[in-house]
Structure 1
Amino acid sequence: MREKTMTRKQVEEPKMQMTIRGMGLSLLVGNPTHKQKVVVVMGATGTGKSKLSIDLATQFQAEIINADKIQIYKGLDVVTNKVTTEECKGVAHHLLGIADPESNFTAENFISAVSLAMKSIIGRGKLSIIAGGSNSYIEALVDDENHEFQSRYDICFLWVDVAMVVLHQSLAERVDRMVDSGMVEEVRNIYKHNSDYSKGIRTAIGVPEFDSYFRAEYSSFSDEKTRAKLLEVAINETKINTCNLARRQVEKIYRLRDVKGWKIHRLDATKVFQKKGKEADMAWAELVAGPASMILNEFLFSFGHSPGLASTVDSHSNNITKVEMGAIAT
């Protein structure tokens, strides 16, 4: 009688079912260092960090902690591109629209708030996914002076990346959609003469750029043609500054990876942004969500997974390295 062999899928499925049901326990059982596990989703603005975080959260029973310093403030939901209730798909989000828009929410404030949120999430037996483009916040959290975060948590870094020439076009189109969705009216509602654009929600791209336009609106010396021109200039400046922000964000990620030695898994979403509709959805599943799920499954449930902060650096620039894929495939 021929011996029946089990496929890898048959072996993994019971394992996944067991760990998903007891997520809180599995995050420690699969970790010989007994550190709690946390996922950090990074990337430039507009690359799909929120989408990936929600995709993973629905699959791995997680809750999301916002790491976008502008989205932490209350208000300007269109300008700051906050996820909608529908987009959240029932996944709990923390640190989203919680700060006074006139305050200055510092990195220290962020670290304290994240600590409280993670304790709450872990207490419910859930996985924490920290997602956002404010790399200065993320760096301050991970590389704190006393190395407390690194000593307590095993970290998996995921980077959603898009080629700049493709991303710039997408960001410009996003600004146009924001204008159509009421961005100008939203900013007008918080406009104040001689506003301080150095702190709080008024530092958001899409707010100071409209200062001259609103000044003209309140002036009896400007005509309709002048105001239309100033509006066009404000929108274009918003697009340019958004693209400049994206470049700076990517530069910081490269520094964290190449200089500081963070082991960051890069997911190339460029082809997703070059497609539309169902083709884009298929490309997302194949190139971003699928590989991210494999990486996260290995991170959560493998005894041999290395920590998120490694002594060696991934030197690839296009896709997951052969070493990473080998770890996933074995």
Structure 2
Amino acid sequence: MAAPIVKKKVVFIMGSTGTGKTKLSINLGSQFPSEIINSDKIQVYKGLDILVNKIPESERCGIPHHLLDIIDNHYYTFTSDDFCKHALAAIDLIHQNGHLPIIVGGSNNYLEALVEDPNNAFLSKYDSCFIWLHVSLPVLFQYLDKRVDEMVDAGILDEIRQVYVPGASYSHGLRRAIGVEEFDHYILIEEESYDEAYKEKVLQDAIRRTKENTFKLAEDQLQKIHRLNYELGWGMHMIDSTLVFETVLRGEKYMDLYQEIILKPSMNIVQKFLEEATQETP
């Protein structure tokens, strides 16, 4: 009788945009020998770092990151097939390095293709742990509203100007990022001889639409996570982070709460997952 095969471990951190996936991935990666694989379809491109909330090199704590800033061509659409090919290669490399792959990002179509497509044989090769960071939508919308304002203050307009091409499509590549199309009209007129009140109105409308489309993205991502978990049976570990975000929005200290509600439970989940030997007889 053939000896059982011990499956290799992979951790996924999932959740709607703005729920703290990147922060948790760094925290976990600092506790367990890990490397991080980005699964955000926009963060694979170089550019728009503020707009797409890309983690700076200085905040990565020396943890290797894969599939981040790998595409120079802003018009190339990085498909689910592209993601699967790169992600599977990264997973194998990370295991060869003796580390734990942590896949983090909000592009759930990528994740579904990776896990569910039989051509990848993912379920037969790997044992997966899914951590789902959840924040109630009314609270998350308040946080995202504030985050867009902070991004404007931090200079997203300068970033968008750098990729602005009059009349170019917004359905491909980096230009699919929320905010690029929304600010199109403002960038088009900002140097023209329109009165300042009109320009300000156009600017505020662009900010409003960026927020609304970000809210819609968060809602769509949550619906997709529900489908993956409750219909496809992914068995996610849901961590409700709403109280932490309410504390952040009130401007109060939140790190003790973060440790108690998010980080410690996540560490316990991963520790238990790593201690379990999952085997499959060929």
TM score, norm. by length of structure 1: 0.80
CA displacement, residues 89-146 of structure 1 (integer Å, 9 cap, x when unaligned):
1111111111122211100000111111112111110000000000000000001133
Q: Considering Cα pairs closer than 8 Å and 6+ residues apart, tell me whether 1 or 2 has the greater RCO.
A: 2
Specify the alignment match of 1:27 in structure 2.
none
Within the alignment, does 1:133 sit opposite 2:106 as a pair? yes
Contact persistence 1:41–1:129 (CA under 8 A): yes
Aligned counterpart for 2:18 among listed residues 40, 43, 46: 46
4+ long deviations beyond 6 Å = none
Percent identical among aligned pairs is: 46
Alignment of 1:243-322 (within 5 A): 243-276=215-248, 279-303=253-277
Contact persistence 1:47–1:167 (CA under 8 A): yes
Measure, in 1, the Cα distance between the counterparts of 2:51 and 2:120. Answer: 35
Alignment of 1:105-254 (within 5 A): 105-146=78-119, 148-220=121-193, 222-254=194-226
Deviation at 1:218, TM superposition (A): 4.9
Measure, in 2, the Cα distance between the counterparts of 1:262 and 1:292. Answer: 17
Contact persistence 2:114–2:120 (CA under 8 A): no
Name structure 1 gaps, 5 residues minimum. 1-31, 308-330
Measure, in 2, the Cα distance between the counterparts of 1:163 and 1:283. Answer: 17
Measure, in 2, the Cα distance between the counterparts of 1:306 and 1:280. Answer: 40
Contact persistence 1:274–1:280 (CA under 8 A): no
Contact persistence 2:44–2:70 (CA under 8 A): yes
Which of 1 and 2 has greater Rg? 1
CA displacement, residues 302-322 of structure 1 (integer Å, 9 cap, x when unaligned):
34x799xxxxxxxxxxxxxxx
Query: What SS does the corresponding residue of 1:258 show, helix, strand or coil?
Result: helix
Aligned counterpart for 2:48 among listed residues 76, 93, 109: 76
Contact persistence 1:121–1:128 (CA under 8 A): yes
Change (3 A) 1:70 1:286: same
Alignment of 1:4-19 (within 5 A): none
Measure, in 2, the Cα distance between the counterparts of 1:87 and 1:177. Answer: 18
TM score, norm. by length of structure 2: 0.93
Q: What is the identity, as a one-letter code, of the residue corresponding to 2:166?
A: H
Measure, in 1, the Cα distance between the counterparts of 2:221 and 2:265. Answer: 22
Measure, in 1, the Cα distance between the counterparts of 2:151 and 2:221. Answer: 21
